[in-house]
Structure 1
Amino acid sequence: MSFNRFKFIWYMEFIHRMWGRTIGAAFVFPAVYFFYKGYFSSKMKYRVFIYGGLIGLQGVLGWLMVRSGLKEPRRPAGLSANENYVGVPRVDHYWLCAHLISAIVLYSLLLWNSFSHLASHPEVKPFNGVKQLKALGHTGKALTLATIIY
């Protein structure tokens, strides 16, 4: 790997880590303020704790994923100990998948929470096809998630 390629990957990962920390801070600071002011209902307090925990889980899974790529790569079978071997570090695909799935679950829950607040707005009128639309949305989400996992 060239040094320029390494720098590109390093900066991309650095930006990814900083973005995650920014999201965490953008969630925690307002949540603490709203808790302190008493703006949350008991139902919303529960959701905020769950979402905060999932954001923390994202960070933990991301670190476990990165840590899995820091191990010494295995030498291929048949290669003698005297031969030089520089392996390519790879992250474990299970940790990568868990990190991605938890992000999708977190995004879905936050979107669902936003829509539940929007749907309770007095100007939004329900319509007859809500159940079919809900089923179609859940089916599409499940198929998309299955495609991503596979």
Structure 2
Amino acid sequence: MTLSIRPARVEERGALGALKLRSSLAWGDHVEELQAIPEAREVPAAHLPYVAVADRSGQIFGFVTVLPGDTADRAELEDLFVAPEAWRMGIGSLLLAEAERRAKALGTQALEVVADERARPFYEASGFRFDGTVQTDLAPAIRLRKDIS
């Protein structure tokens, strides 16, 4: 599958939100909670300048959001979602590489992500290291960090 990675467009916010929710629900965890909270299906307009999409012929297969961190030396991987029908096709890895590129462009030295334990092998295979646990609105999660300098 030949994909291009490009900036998100304003008119794609709805499609990105729908993909985010569909991808989140595909695991079968926290279904009722996810369906009830607006954040599970939204990509804030303020985040759009930081969103890159994986696209083939106008169809979006995934997206990643990299935000400046709380300090100048790190960036936050806010979202990384791939359409469930395209899982295990390398799209997540392409988007993660784009996230690292974007974090470097922000001038940061590290990229951090808060993720479900299921995602840990994916991130660790890409060089992220466990950096603690955090409590999210839905459940405990892990924080991972990768030095990118």
TM-score normalized by the length of structure 1: 0.29
TM-score normalized by the length of structure 2: 0.29
Whichever of the two has the greater Rg, that structure is 1
